[in-house]
């Protein structure tokens, strides 16, 4: 998995590091060098409308590993999209330049040596300094030309970075042809994003969206109806307590505990404390209901913290692969995601009934998968949405940023569940009308716990 790290010195110099795994280096390997760049190091009067910086190496490179593009401050060019390998010896950085401006970057540097040859040798650091000529820069071009360049970047990101690109067998070339002129003719970044959202909605992927100056612009929108009624739950569950906007608890007369988590997205570290107090105070409870039927995901780490209260030994709950266009398959090897015990929180080993359904998505689907690995837990309700993407951001260079899924999420057996969802252990077929005065899913769970 590649990571994007920024190191800042006292002079606010920023080093862009794409970390890689280090392999064994043969003793006879020769360190690779940069043989050519465009623009050339020291070049003056570079066309400010130049869109790509090209780096050529003298030998085949490790295109699956990391890379280090070093630099900082106003001298560092604005990077658009995602830097990529064009072939085993050529690296492309898409940029937007200003006229009459000095630029400087370095391929590798003492603090970061992640560009490596196929033999594992780090590239000899190579500086690239140049100055653009006067006239119009990329930012001064007509809006239509800026948008045309953004369309190219978006198409490239779909092809190179979108993990579910081929899931529905879409004709992406035709889709872009159908929307290209509308995108180019957009008079504002927001209008461009809205049209791009219509184009990208064909992927039926809720983890694709766009952002303009901090404003969220969705692509695929498909509201789901929960298999629950939040209004009646306080009347159905004794000792009801709302801790905040996302955590609720209750306690039945026979000692069965109820906890409900509506999101894994809270930035307040205290938001989930009510859950842990409830678990700690009722560690000997005869049963526990964990209700996530209203949960739309968030931080998988927060979900792991809670699920870790219910197990004794580490267990794999999911797998995934990351989109990596430089590999033969286009993806990394299959990676395991493991649930581990949480010794810092109260433990519970009694019977658990997890309530799930069609609103559950993303990191909460991961939580359901975690709970499926808990020996004492059973999942009740309906199938989840089936959407997990780990989206990454890509600047299109026209004021619009697109977010695209970077992985394919899988069940523990390696089966992909995008667009399919996670099935309950005990299906409970319901209609919205069933929840006017009662909750059939909760009833089935309680019957199981009390059996």
- The reply to whether 238 and 377 lie within a common domain is yes
Residue range(s) defining the domain that contains residue 151:
141-218
For residue range 296-319, list pLDDT tens digits in order.
999 999 999 999 999 999 999 999
Residue 124: what pLDDT?
A: 95
What span, in angstroms and rounded, lies between the C-alpha atoms of 205 and 225?
Answer: 18
Is 413 part of a structural domain of the chain?
Answer: no
Residue 12: what pLDDT?
A: 38
Is 415 part of a structural domain of the chain?
Answer: no
Does the pLDDT at position 283 exceed 80? yes
Task: Indicate the residue among 106, 139, 172 that finishes a domain.
Answer: 139
Task: Indicate the residue among 85, 108, 139 that finishes a domain.
Answer: 139
What span, in angstroms and rounded, lies between the C-alpha atoms of 46 and 38?
Answer: 10
Is 109 part of a structural domain of the chain?
Answer: yes
Mean local confidence (pLDDT), 137-158: 89
Residue 24: what pLDDT?
A: 44
pTM of full prediction above 0.75: yes
- The reply to whether 194 and 205 lie within a common domain is yes
Does the pLDDT at position 271 exceed 60? yes
Neighbours of 409 (CB within 10 A): 26
Is 149 part of a structural domain of the chain?
Answer: yes
- The reply to whether 327 and 432 lie within a common domain is yes
Is 408 part of a structural domain of the chain?
Answer: no
Is 405 part of a structural domain of the chain?
Answer: no
Residue 240: what pLDDT?
A: 98
Contacts of 428 (CB under 8 A, 6+ apart): 227, 380, 381, 382, 440, 441, 444
- The reply to whether 365 and 248 lie within a common domain is yes
Does the pLDDT at position 245 exceed 80? yes
Residue 400 CA: distances (Å) to CA of 77, 142, 190, 393? 18, 16, 8, 10
What span, in angstroms and rounded, lies between the C-alpha atoms of 398 and 188?
Answer: 9
- The reply to whether 381 and 427 lie within a common domain is yes
Cα dihedral: 320, 324, 328, 334 (round 10): -20
- The reply to whether 112 and 148 lie within a common domain is no
Q: What interhelical angle do 172-184 and 143-161 show, nearest 10? A: 160
Task: Indicate the residue among 121, 139, 157 that finishes a domain.
Answer: 139
- The reply to whether 276 and 380 lie within a common domain is yes
Is 320 part of a structural domain of the chain?
Answer: yes
Residue 364: what pLDDT?
A: 98
CATH number at residue 307: 3.90.226.10
- The reply to whether 76 and 163 lie within a common domain is no
CATH number at residue 106: 2.60.40.3710
For residue range 392-407, list pLDDT tens digits in order.
999 999 999 999 999 9
Among 24-28, 210-214, 317-321, 326-330, which is the least confidently predicted range? 24-28
Is 402 part of a structural domain of the chain?
Answer: no
- The reply to whether 90 and 128 lie within a common domain is yes
Ramachandran angles phi, psi of 52, nearest 5°: -135, 135
Residue 66: what pLDDT?
A: 87
* Total domain count, the chain: 3
DSSP 193-250: HHHHHHHHGGG--TT-EEEETTEEEES-------SS-TTTHHHHSTT-EE-SSSEEEE
Residue 137: what pLDDT?
A: 67
DSSP state of 271: T
Which pLDDT band, with edges at 50, 70 and 90, does 139 fall under?
A: low
Ramachandran angles phi, psi of 38, nearest 5°: -135, 110
- The reply to whether 148 and 98 lie within a common domain is no
Residue 324 CA: distances (Å) to CA of 80, 188, 237, 286, 408? 18, 32, 48, 48, 11
- The reply to whether 334 and 270 lie within a common domain is yes
- The reply to whether 145 and 118 lie within a common domain is no
For residue range 77-135, list pLDDT tens digits in order.
999 988 999 999 999 999 999 999 999 999 999 999 999 999 999 999 999 999 999 87
């Amino acid at each position: 998995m590649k990571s994007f790290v920024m190191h800042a010195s006292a002079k606010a110099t920023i080093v862009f590091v794409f970390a890689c795994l280090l392999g064994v280096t043969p003793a006879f390997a020769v360190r690779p060098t940069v043989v050519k760049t465009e623009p050339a190091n020291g070049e003056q009067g570079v066309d400010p409308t130049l869109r790509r910086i090209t780096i050529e190496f003298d030998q085949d490179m490790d295109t699956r590993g990391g890379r280090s593009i070093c630099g900082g401050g106003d001298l560092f060019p604005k990077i658009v999209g995602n830097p990529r390998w064009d072939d085993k010896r050529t690296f492309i950085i898409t940029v937007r330049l200003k006229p009459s401006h000095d630029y400087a970057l370095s391929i590798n540097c003492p603090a970061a040596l992640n560009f490596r040859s196929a033999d594992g040798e780090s590239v000899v650091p190579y500086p690239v300094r140049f100055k653009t000529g006067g006239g119009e820069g990329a930012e001064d071009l007509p809006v239509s030309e800026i948008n045309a360049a953004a369309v190219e970047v978006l198409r490239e990101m779909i092809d190179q970075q979108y993990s579910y690109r081929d899931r529905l067998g879409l004709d992406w070339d035709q889709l872009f042809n159908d929307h290209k002129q509308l995108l180019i003719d957009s008079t504002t970044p927001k209008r461009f994003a809205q049209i791009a959202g219509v184009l990208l909605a064909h992927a039926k992927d809720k983890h694709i969206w766009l952002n303009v100056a901090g404003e969220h612009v969705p692509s695929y929108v498909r509201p789901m109806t929960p298999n629950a009624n939040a209004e009646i739950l306080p009347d159905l569950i004794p000792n009801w307590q709302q801790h905040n906007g996302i955590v609720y608890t209750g306690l039945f007369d026979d000692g069965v505990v109820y906890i409900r988590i509506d999101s894994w997205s809270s930035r307040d570290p205290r938001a989930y404390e009510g859950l842990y107090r409830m678990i700690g105070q009722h560690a000997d409870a005869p049963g526990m209901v964990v209700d996530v039927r209203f949960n739309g995901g968030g931080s998988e780490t927060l979900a792991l913290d809670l699920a870790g209260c219910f197990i004794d030994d580490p267990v794999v709950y999911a797998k995934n692969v990351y989109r990596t266009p430089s590999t033969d398959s286009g993806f990394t090897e299959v990676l395991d995601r493991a649930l581990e015990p949480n010794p810092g929180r109260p433990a519970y080993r009694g019977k658990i009934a997890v309530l799930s359904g069609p609103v559950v998505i993303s990191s909460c689907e991961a939580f359901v998968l975690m709970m499926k690995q808990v020996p004492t837990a059973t999942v009740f309700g309906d199938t989840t949405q089936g959407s997990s993407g780990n989206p990454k951001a890509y600047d299109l260079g026209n004021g619009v940023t697109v977010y695209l899924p970077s992985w394919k999420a899988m069940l523990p057996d390696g089966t992909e569940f995008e667009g399919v969802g996670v099935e309950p252990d005990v299906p409970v077929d319901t209609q919205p009308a069933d929840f006017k005065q009662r909750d059939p899913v909760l009833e089935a769970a309680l019957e199981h716990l009390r059996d």
